[in-house]
A and B are shown apart, each in its own frame.
Chain A
Amino acid sequence: MIGRVPWWTVIVVGVLAVCWVVPVLGIVLTSIRPPADVALGWWRLDNIRFTLDAWQRVWVEYPLAESFFYTALLAALATLGTMLLTPAAAYAFHFLKFRSRRLLLIIIINAFVLPQQVVVIPLFTLWRDMKLIDNPLAVLIPYVGMSFAWSIFLVKNFLEDFPKELIEAAKIDGCGPIKTLQHVVLPNATSPIFAVGVLQFLWSWNALLLPMLYLRSMVPLPVLLTKVSGTYEMNWDLRSVAAIVTTIVPLIVFVVFQRQFAAGSQTRTGAKE
């Protein structure tokens, strides 16, 4: 912007921003202050003591550690699946010719509007009949399968700017379609593949509805959190720790890649310099 910085806007935005993160501060403080001190509110300053008691007890009271690793495993597998299969398909859709190509592409890239509620009943009956309820595949298949609706679009969009000459050159050098993908396209398309991976990781980690319905004995963190919060015990400190543990990994990933998201949205709103 040109001209002087109008300070009042900075102050207004700043005050609002601080208000915005108050709920986050709330659970952090609830998790590290003794319950007796926060009975009248976690923000009160009349008795300031900190304790990691809840942080130690929570692992015993809830199966938080197992759930953490299970969540990480599910998210990692789903991310891997999407990152491996998406570029291949996006490449095929963009550079190769085959029957019904455009029809398939249109169906896949428009499916992103579908809400997850659509899969709930059919997959529930299917997994029940196939005895897949409580099997990790019951959530991994829809995680990966549904991701194509946006991931293929994202990678294919990137490939639209991919220099055709490189593909032609590879062809002249005797590369078949698969060799071209492997040696020419993949090494030069790491950024959209990585972006797809980050997004898929965030949403598989945070998924609630499908794992809640299809997994029983071992559940990922968001499901565990709702179970913990659903009980009527007044253990706000333990629940706050569980909430922080649930969201800390995706939050860190999000914050680290926030710049890319912002930059990405900038270039993709046509706002290139």
Chain B
Amino acid sequence: MTSSGAKPTADAFADISSPLTGGRREPVVRRGQKGLRDAPAAWLLIAPVIVLFGISVIYPLIDTIRLSLFDIKGLAPAKFVGLGNYAALFADATFRNTLLTTLIFTLGTTLISVSLGWTLAMLCSFAPRHTLPFRGMFFVTFGISEAVSGYMWINILRPDKAGLLNSLIGSVVPGFQHSWLGDPVTALWSLIFVASWSGVGLPLMLCFAAVQGIPKTVLEAAYMDGAKPMSIMRHIMVPLSMPGVRVAIFINLLGALRAFDIIYVMTGGGPVRATETVGYFMYRESMTQFKLGYGAAATVVLLVAVLVVSIPAIIQRTAGAK
């Protein structure tokens, strides 16, 4: 679980291994040996983890689901409404629009950053040494905090003459001026672009690493057999980069679903709530409108989306947990 919003830096690296190395070794602890002699020491070692994890993951998870069944407004006493909040959510035109926004944002971000990252990785693997500094430049945006990325792009997208984008277009189309973040459609696509901008480094690195991992002998053999660079790419590099692509897609989907920082900084969900994803909607309803139950129900919807996306990863991790 990350809390860094759309950019799951920590997970990203923790997760790289999951689909590929899970359960590779036989379990070191053999079953059927006498007793649970280690138990006291083990519980001592994991007790702090259990307590902290319980407070910050298990309890919130259960409580969010519980709260979603209540009507809570501010400090007034909670009223049990069953699935009333969910019925209200799906009857709410704003929320339905939020679902659509989430879908566009999630798919758009994933598609752009993974396809661009993959293409760059392929290009880079033709000249690994010469493109090293350039790969660093792409990857560096991944290390910039999201709030700051948002601010940098506000600077580029400024509606006045000092906005680089307006100025560039203005030099071709005289008198061009557009408020990128003030128009519902361009605001959403600006967010998608900025999220992809900071996310492209990861698929680039993953796919590049996968291609670099191809044994030299395989490439040499192909070369000896007279394969052209294009066919080496098509028949060797592309298929072998697919594991990297899969991991990158998954990480990007998760990151986009949990996006918050970038939306908060760049548009605040506006204009007219056009850039609110479910992850932002729950914040707004619960923390600015104090409709805790309603916000919790939206969170559960987000949770369902996240779980659906994560099913393969969860199966793999569970099977690998020895």
Q: Do A and B come from one complex?
A: yes
A135 to B205, CA, bound (A): 39
In chain A, positions 88-118 with a C-beta closer than 8 Å to chain B are: 88-89, 91-99, 101-102, 104-118
Do the beta carbons of A209 and B283 come within 8 Å of each other?
yes
- Bitwise interface map of B from 200 to 233 toward A, beta carbon under 8 Å scored 1, else 0: 1000011001101101100110010000010000
Q: Which of B3, B21, B152 contacts A142 (CB 8 A)?
A: B3
Do the beta carbons of A94 and B145 come within 8 Å of each other?
no
Which residues of chain B are near A270, meaning CB under 8 Å? 20-21, 213, 243
Do the beta carbons of B53 and A148 come within 8 Å of each other?
yes
Do the beta carbons of A17 and B137 come within 8 Å of each other?
yes
- Bitwise interface map of B from 280 to 322 toward A, beta carbon under 8 Å scored 1, else 0: 0011001100001001100100110011011001100110011
Which residues of chain B are near A264, meaning CB under 8 Å? 13, 16
Do the beta carbons of A14 and B134 come within 8 Å of each other?
yes
Pick the interface stretch among B82-90, B184-192, B259-267: B259-267
Do the beta carbons of A89 and B295 come within 8 Å of each other?
no
A150 to B16, CA, bound (A): 11
In chain A, positions 1-35 with a C-beta closer than 8 Å to chain B are: 1-3, 5-6, 9-10, 12-14, 16-18, 20-24, 26-27, 30
Which residues of chain B are near A95, meaning CB under 8 Å? 28-29, 38
Which residues of chain A are near B123, meaning CB under 8 Å? 9, 12-13
Q: Which of B209, B212, B303 contacts A115 (CB 8 A)?
A: B303
Q: Does B41 contact A (CB under 8 A)?
A: yes
Which residues of chain A are near B286, meaning CB under 8 Å? 120-121, 124
CB distance from A262 to the nearest CB of B (A): 6
* A112-B1 contact, Cβ under 8 Å, with A85-B48, A88-B46, A258-B136: yes
Do the beta carbons of A145 and B52 come within 8 Å of each other?
yes
Do the beta carbons of A23 and B153 come within 8 Å of each other?
yes
Chain B residue nearest to A246 in the complex (CB) = B148
Q: Does A218 contact B (CB under 8 A)?
A: no
Q: Does B131 contact A (CB under 8 A)?
A: yes
Do the beta carbons of A98 and B38 come within 8 Å of each other?
yes
Do the beta carbons of A153 and B18 come within 8 Å of each other?
yes
Q: Which of B144, B254, B283 contacts A117 (CB 8 A)?
A: B283
Chain B residue nearest to A195 in the complex (CB) = B13
Do the beta carbons of B36 and A97 come within 8 Å of each other?
yes
Chain B residue nearest to A239 in the complex (CB) = B151
- Bitwise interface map of A from 139 to 173 toward B, beta carbon under 8 Å scored 1, else 0: 00111111111111110010011101001000000
A169 to B200, CA, bound (A): 46
23 contacts between A and B (CB under 8 A): A9-B126, A41-B161, A41-B167, A92-B38, A108-B53, A113-B254, A115-B303, A118-B1, A118-B61, A118-B303, A121-B299, A148-B49, A181-B45, A199-B14, A202-B10, A206-B145, A208-B261, A209-B264, A240-B155, A251-B140, A262-B205, A268-B21, A269-B243
Interface residues of B (CB under 8 A from A): 1-5, 7, 9-11, 13-18, 20-21, 24-25, 28-29, 33, 36-39, 41-46, 48-50, 52-61, 63-64, 67, 120, 123-128, 130-131, 133-149, 151-156, 161-164, 167, 197, 200, 205-206, 209-210, 212-213, 215-216, 219-220, 223, 229, 243-244, 247, 254, 257-258, 260-261, 264-265, 279, 282-283, 286-287, 292, 295-296, 299, 302-303, 306-307, 309-310, 313-314, 317-318, 321-322
